[in-house]
């Protein structure tokens, strides 16, 4: 009764949001800054070359930070996805309802902002009518997207959002990476067992679900092992002066500092820490993963450790083959975002093939059955909470690149 009464109200809200989504959208570079006439016209995909969906094409949606302070997250993911889709299309595409179809991806740039990410989902669902959505990287952005995908019953697969809350939004939300209770534990164990750290300071991003979650999970394991968190300082994404927090941290003489943030802030934090004479080793999570980290952090970030999804040092022929193909195509080594983007797209493709249909419910049910999928960043088996359970690697920053240190299994 209650549900029946609420349904039309919700449908109305959704329509309004869809309309607002169009109005709020700032024209992207691809849109040329032209004043839009209708919501349809202003919702320009980041890549105008994307072919429109037609009878022979299945359209997937993608939301990512192609610009802004986490731009490498979105760009790498987009490239990984593109590589997967081109491979699948070259091999004949997928067969649905008995007919062979090619795949295309419509990509929207959310500039790293949760509101934009949510608006992009509305556009992908109500205008582009995509069959599934790939994204986002940053957990706060995925958390903004997931309720809309769930409400519309369009499956959403995050390649790399690790905060547990993302898939808790509902049964249409999946991820192909591990989650942060595991990632936090991995680094806490490394701090205790390898770095022999007893006192650790934390510097976290108060605006990021990812950073707050990882701080909490790290603390839980680290203190259980007898360690002490001697300082817990915070910043907000985009801050440029971290000296106040770092001075407090310095005064507590920690054996190591845990900074579970994103690369842009981390690079600056590392420089300012070393300038202030803080010599304790720094540790982080997958959010450090970017070529830009080395540029921003310079020598200050050298020697630091972070947990990640894969290592380009992995000698497996599958991984090395992927790296070679990616380098030939994009002129750079694929980071873990690219690997997970590729994996997420392939998991969707495999589910589409098994479903033989683009029906949202059928596709959801097949995605949920993903089992032993051989990915670039590890084998993907989804648990009953739609999360992948797989090992993490620990990497060390060395002279402008990362060196493999260890693999830690769940």
Interface contacts to ligand PHE, rule CB under 6 A: 73, 137-139, 160-163, 210, 286-287, 289, 336-337
List C-alpha distances in Å: 179 to 118, 285, 348, 383, 390: 22, 11, 19, 12, 9
DSSP 149-208: HHHHT--EEESS---THHHHT-TTEEESS--HHHHHHHHHHHHHHTS--SEEEEEEETT-
Phi, psi of 276 (to 5 degrees): -80, 0
CB of 93 or CB of 285, closer to ligand PHE:
285
CB of 74 or CB of 93, closer to ligand PHE:
74
- What is the closest distance, in whole angstroms, from the C-beta atom of residue 166 to ligand PHE in the complex? 8
- What is the closest distance, in whole angstroms, from the C-beta atom of residue 397 to ligand PHE in the complex? 14
Burial of 89 (0-12, 13-18, 19+ CB in 10 A): middle
CB of 139 or CB of 167, closer to ligand PHE:
139
CB of 138 or CB of 348, closer to ligand PHE:
138
List C-alpha distances in Å: 371 to 105, 148, 181, 310, 341: 24, 26, 22, 19, 18
- What is the closest distance, in whole angstroms, from the C-beta atom of residue 45 to ligand PHE in the complex? 23
286-305 burial, b if ≥16 CB within 10 A, otherwise e?
Answer: bbbbbebbbebbeebbbebb
CB of 96 or CB of 107, closer to ligand PHE:
107
- What is the closest distance, in whole angstroms, from the C-beta atom of residue 301 to ligand PHE in the complex? 15
CB of 193 or CB of 295, closer to ligand PHE:
295
Structure-token match 């062979």, residue found? 100
- What is the closest distance, in whole angstroms, from the C-beta atom of residue 169 to ligand PHE in the complex? 14
CB of 179 or CB of 273, closer to ligand PHE:
179
| Largest CA-CA distance found in the chain, in angstroms, rounded | 68
Residues 6+ apart with CB under 8 A from 37: none
In the complex, residue closest to ligand PHE by CB: 210
Cβ atoms of residues 329 and 83 within 8 Å: yes
336-355 and 71-90 helices cross at what angle (nearest 10)?
40
CB of 143 or CB of 151, closer to ligand PHE:
143
- What is the closest distance, in whole angstroms, from the C-beta atom of residue 180 to ligand PHE in the complex? 7
In angstroms, the CA 239 to CA 241 distance is: 6
- What is the closest distance, in whole angstroms, from the C-beta atom of residue 381 to ligand PHE in the complex? 19
3-state SS assignment for residue 302: coil
Q: Copy the structure tokens of residue 299.
A: 């020598």
57 bridge partner residues: 102
Q: Copy the structure tokens of residue 178.
A: 């591990």
CB of 58 or CB of 66, closer to ligand PHE:
66
- What is the closest distance, in whole angstroms, from the C-beta atom of residue 286 to ligand PHE in the complex? 4
CB of 110 or CB of 286, closer to ligand PHE:
286
Structure-token match 């959704």, residue found? 14
Whether residue 90 is preceded by a cis peptide bond, meaning omega within 30 degrees of 0, is no
CB of 18 or CB of 107, closer to ligand PHE:
107
- What is the closest distance, in whole angstroms, from the C-beta atom of residue 40 to ligand PHE in the complex? 31
Beta strand pairing status for 378-380 and 373-375? antiparallel
- What is the closest distance, in whole angstroms, from the C-beta atom of residue 204 to ligand PHE in the complex? 13
- What is the closest distance, in whole angstroms, from the C-beta atom of residue 217 to ligand PHE in the complex? 12
In angstroms, the CA 152 to CA 170 distance is: 11
For residue 388, which of 323, 310, 328, 324 has the smallest C-alpha distance?
310
Q: Copy the structure tokens of residue 263.
A: 């690369």
């Amino acid at each position: 009764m209650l549900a029946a009464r609420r349904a039309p109200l919700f449908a109305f809200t959704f329509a309004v949001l869809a309309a607002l989504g169009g109005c709020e959208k700032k024209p992207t570079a691809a849109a040329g800054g032209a004043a839009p006439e209708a919501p349809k016209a202003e919702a320009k995909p980041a890549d105008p070359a994307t072919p429109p969906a037609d009878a022979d094409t299945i359209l997937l949606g993608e939301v990512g930070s192609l610009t802004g302070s986490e731009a490498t997250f979105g760009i790498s993911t987009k490239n990984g996805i593109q590589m997967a889709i081109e491979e699948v299309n070259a091999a004949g595409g997928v067969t649905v309802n008995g007919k062979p179809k090619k795949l295309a991806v419509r990509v929207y740039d959310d500039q790293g902002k949760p509101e934009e990410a949510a608006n992009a989902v509305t556009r992908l669902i109500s205008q582009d009518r995509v069959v599934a959505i790939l994204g986002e990287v940053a957990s706060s952005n995925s958390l903004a997207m997931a309720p809309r995908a769930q409400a519309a019953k369009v499956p959403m697969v995050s390649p790399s959002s690790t905060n547990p809350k993302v898939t808790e939004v509902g049964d249409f939300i999946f991820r192909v990476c591990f989650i942060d209770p595991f990632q936090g534990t991995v680094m806490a164990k490394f701090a205790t067992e390898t770095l022999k750290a007893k006192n650790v300071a934390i510097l976290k991003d108060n605006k990021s679900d990812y950073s707050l979650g990882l701080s909490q999970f790290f603390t839980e394991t680290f203190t259980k092992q007898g360690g002490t968190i001697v300082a817990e300082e915070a910043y907000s994404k985009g801050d440029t002066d971290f000296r106040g927090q770092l001075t407090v941290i310095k005064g507590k003489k920690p054996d190591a500092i845990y900074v579970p943030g994103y690369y842009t802030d981390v690079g600056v934090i590392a420089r300012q820490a070393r300038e202030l004479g803080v010599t304790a080793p720094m540790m982080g999570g997958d959010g450090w993963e970017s070529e830009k980290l080395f540029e921003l952090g310079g020598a200050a970030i050298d020697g630091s450790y972070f947990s990640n999804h894969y290592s380009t040092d992995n000698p497996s022929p599958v991984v090395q083959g992927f790296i070679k193909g990616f380098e030939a195509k994009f002129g750079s080594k694929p980071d873990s975002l690219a690997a997970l983007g590729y994996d997420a797209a392939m998991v969707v493709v495999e589910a589409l093939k098994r479903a033989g249909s683009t029906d949202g419910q059928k596709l959801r049910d097949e995605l949920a059955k993903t089992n032993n999928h051989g990915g670039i960043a590890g084998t993907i088996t989804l648990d009953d909470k739609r999360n992948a359970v797989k090992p993490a690697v620990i990497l060390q920053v060395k002279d402008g690149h990362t060196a493999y240190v260890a693999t830690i299994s769940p």
